[in-house]
Structure 1
């Protein structure tokens, strides 16, 4: 879908009227609709009144948002999925925030910071007017308690996820002290902290703006046995704290039931109150059902607009908010599967894929084919990256030369979910499967419900050749992409490349500038040459909003906190004094 530049929303800007899709958007390609169920009314919480149910005329200060999946945990340190972070960033905050216009790091719980010792120490000065939602004080001791908790996370707490953001940034936990870049956290005063590293992490401040580094109440962590995954929720192991997080954000958890999360405004919040008193997240896996719920007035907004839904949104005059692309879709290759370890086989895969055909009609216009895993926004040149153009004859020849014997190749793909990098996974799989089959691969489809732990399934060892997945950036640095995906050995790709890991470790410590950009360009070239996965697209993602939303804080890294929403029919509320 083409959105005129003058109509693209910028964070903090009014979206009322000016960003509405108009019915004349004939460039949207209509495809056969996915089978979709209508959205049920969300379950009211035990404390909610009888009028809390979502209706066509929402309560004036309630904002109801349709999500694509349930959160897996509300402990951000143990999360790695969009829907968990979407909730936790309303409840918890980190030392560093994100500028809504540039996505650059900005002050949040830390008022300022200073780099010392050639990047091996960061001195933070903290806000002094903050309390946690349980009444406990926010101070230097609380900050260090969180950093030390992340560093010492036991292996049992890290189970169920291929990698956690702390490891992506700091390389290792306390059980590998010789590898970890974390050296310690010291409270140098009641509201001052020194964070010490074993060597420079150039993107550290940007990384600390990611939702995984939000600060929890130490008292609540202890009371909820945060590091003990003693509970089970929808098949996911979770701690008691992961079901009842406590932070310093504008909203606190009111209830979490299957299909519904409800938040209420925290009266002790130190920042701007905003207009929203109550937030309801209701899970609607199908994008078509989310669109119908918005059109009917049952929700106020939703994420991951699909091509199929866009025309109906246009006809109903609803608002369309586009994010700058900051995610990558890829086809993962598992080199532990027989034959996939042959580079000729992987080259055959790369040449068999027609990325333009994959994108056409399945992604919003503006989505671009990807040659590398680092988005254009980060300014890393792709000139040295091998461009495996679509060439069916070459793909067939390479496949024959690889010795492929026609054995079935299990291809895993998710069902009933939308992601920023993959709004309609079933359709993307169908096209990729068609293309690979045409080149001579024998594809065995393996659909897995997203809610059944699809991401964890394909990120661990298993009997698969291919899988469809992607990565959404959460902070402004190339290491957030290649470091997270390829900075250490992972069972997802079965790809062991110590030289590449060494290059990534070196690049993350280089000062910003030409040398660092060149180092990441070299990393991209090496990944492309060895093909542990095929980057497919940098998708455009978009939200849709009702007319009652006049301002929504759109962010490429999804740093979208709902106290910054303005509703057209609500008078601003004063910020409480004291």
Structure 2
């Protein structure tokens, strides 16, 4: 169970020292130490099961139909993409495509695919299979276009969006034509949402593919007991060499303390989404290793700009002035987060560190409320998810803090709690008034944050990732310009200008950037946390303890 909000005001000296050291390195790089392993034990035992404790179950195992991180954490081990990121560097490297080239105008891309790869069901991976997947994603009239396909809509601007055509040039050569340039194109193709599925599995299972994932990756699905456990087993015919462990289990353990306790007892090997207050306990346990994911997220308050009174800028600005982010970081995040001035992390290029942000000023907030026509305030609902996310390790305490802050300026919020699956569905439909939500980047480009959260294209009910339902022609123009130019100096300038526009309009309230805390047993070797929170685990192995 999480600590009471006020308990963080008196931090033990050990935690305070750790926090001080970490914040000295808090330019969003992970704090690591080399794991100490029991060298007497074998690290070559390939018949073991790696068990990961996490707060939430996956929503689906069809990566094309979700934007949800806990789904991707599993599917990235089942499906593979045409290209991928090199670990720790963010550089695009080959995966299912071994090479590629583009035309000078950036509109035509040709990919040479690897030969001899088979899907888990034994069918061939080839250019026709890739085309089949793209047509499923992009064509609303395709008989297998069953699902939201939210990431396609978000990244490529609708159905079909700016992808003009996808066709096989030969059995292992593929051509993709765009109808306008898109600077982060390769980055987008590396996202787990665009993992290539077996066409035969899609045909067989269609809308039930989310329960029957079939890819080319190092693992395949063995079992899924909803809200309890997902077990993957090794693909012994994997084209890039067998995985180090025989099975991976993703076990749902909702409570932070419960996950830590099971880790200490050795019933799980890795615990995700731990509370910062547990750092000292992990650090000084001789059997555990502390990991800090690189901070690549933002947690924020999404105000529904299409609902009264949040369609009034004065009300939105008043709410921005009502939140004391420094106190929030101290009271709820145990000083293990950084107040957010805007919606991209400071480590990301294009960050505007000259923004004149909204200072905590409840008097100014109350004055703005009066000017907006609410001298006596108003009532609203504040939505929150029921379990930890990397940007909100203690979401209910964040909700209580925001509720009390709003109360001080005459806004009386009733907290409503939903399970994660229902929460996503409802806020994508725009049913909320104000909601706590966040975003973890998929790749190191401001487009992934800012286009996702603020493009009008992404404010469509049912598909919304722009949870504020904010719409601005000026913002859209800058977002599109930044997508279509490859001039990095110009792109950086456009994103800095965009942040100024969004800051003035105040569609939401940026709250915090966190550095998610996790831990493992010392027997875990080869595990490297990524900034996106999503890792393929074929190179992780277990030593004997």
Q: TM-score, normalised by structure 2?
A: 0.88
Q: How many positions carry a matched residue from both structures?
A: 508
Q: How does 1:275-354 map to 2 (within 5 A)?
A: 275-317=244-286, 318-354=288-324
Q: Does 1:389 align with 2:359?
A: yes
- Is the counterpart of residue 414 in structure 1 residue 385 in structure 2? yes
**Equivalences for residues 63-212 of structure 1 within 5 A:** 63-153=50-140, 164-174=150-160, 180-212=161-193
Q: Residues of 2 paired with 1:561 and 1:381: CA distance?
A: 29
SS of alignment partner, residue 382 of structure 1: coil
What CA distance in whole angstroms lies between the structure 2 residues aligned with 1:439 and 1:272?
60
Do the aligned partners of residues 264 and 364 (structure 1) sit closer, same or farther apart at CA in structure 2, a change above 3 Å counting?
farther
- For residue 41 of structure 2, what is the aligned residue in structure 1? none
Corresponding residue SS for 2:437: strand
What is the SS of the residue equivalent to 1:378? coil
Contact 2:298 2:514 in 1 (8 A): yes
Partner of 1:566: 541
Extract unaligned runs of 5+ from structure 1: 19-57, 175-179, 226-238, 571-578
Q: 1:554 to 1:383 in 2, by over 3 A?
A: closer
Q: Does 1:475 align with 2:450?
A: no
Quickly say closer, same or farther: Cα 1:548–1:10, change in 2 above 3 A: farther
From 500, 511, 516, the counterpart of 2:491: 516
Structure 1 pair 59–316 and aligned structure 2 pair: CA distance change class (3 A): farther
* Alpha-carbon distance in 1 for matches of 2:54, 2:145: 25
The C-alpha deviation readout for 1:373-406, integer Å capped at 9, x for no partner, is: 1222221131453310111211121112111242
Q: Deviations over 1:171-220 (max 9, x none)?
A: 0114xxxxx11111121122111111001110010111110011111111
1:184 counterpart SS class: strand
- The separation in 1 between residues aligned to 2:311 and 2:28, in whole angstroms, is 45
Structure 1 position 216 matched with structure 2 position 197: yes
Deviant stretches of 4+, over 6 Å: 5-11, 155-160
Deviation, 1:160, is 7.7
- Indicate if the aligned counterparts of 1:384 and 1:521 stay in contact, CA closer than 8 A: no
2:241 to 261, 264, 272: 272
Q: Give the match for residue 486 of structure 1.
A: 454
Shift of 1:364: 6.1
SS at match of 1:289: helix
Corresponding residue SS for 2:266: coil
Residues 154 and 457 of structure 1: is their aligned pair in 2 closer, same or farther, counting only changes over 3 Å? farther
Asked if the contact 1:77–1:165 (Cα under 8 Å) also holds between the matched residues in 2, the reply is: yes
> Shift of the alpha carbon at 1:477?
1.2
**Any stretches of 5+ residues in structure 2 without a counterpart?**
1-17, 38-44, 462-466
Q: Secondary structure at the match of 2:538?
A: helix
- For residue 542 of structure 1, report the CA deviation from its aligned partner: 2.3
Residues 304-359 of structure 1: per-residue CA shift (max 9 Å, x gap): 11124334333433211111111110101112332211111111111111111111
CA displacement 1:505-533 (0-9 Å, x = unmatched): 12111114110111111111111111111
* Cα contact 1:250–1:563 (8 A) shared by 2: yes
* Compared CA separation, residues 358 and 9, structure 1 to 2 (3 A): closer
Matched, 1:16 2:22: no
Contact 1:553–1:564 under 8 Å retained in 2: no
Query: Does 2:436 correspond to 1:450?
Result: no
Structure 1 match to 2:5: none
Which residue of the partner structure matches residue 34 of structure 1?
none
Q: Secondary structure at the match of 1:442?
A: strand
Among 456, 461, 466, the alignment partner of 2:434 is 466
State the secondary structure of the residue aligned to 1:207: helix
Alpha-carbon RMSD across the aligned residues, in angstroms, is 2.5
**Does the aligned pair in 1 maintain the 2:377–2:409 contact within 8 Å?**
no
Question: Which residue of 1 is the match for residue 9 of structure 2?
Answer: none
1:147 and 1:466 map into 2 onto residues whose CA distance is 35
Task: Measure, in 1, the Cα distance between the counterparts of 2:181 and 2:242.
Answer: 37
TM-score, structure 1 normalization: 0.83
Does the 8 Å contact 1:10/1:101 carry over to 2? no
**Structure 1 equivalent of residue 10 of structure 2:** none
Q: Is the 8 A contact 1:98 1:559 kept in 2?
A: no
| Residues 9, 321 of structure 1: 8 Å contact kept | no
Are 1:548 and 1:568, in contact at CA under 8 Å, matched by a contact in 2?
yes
Q: Secondary structure at the match of 1:304?
A: strand
- Is residue 498 of structure 1 aligned with residue 473 of structure 2? yes
Summarize the Cα distance change of 1:487–1:427 in structure 2 as closer, same or farther, 3 Å threshold. same
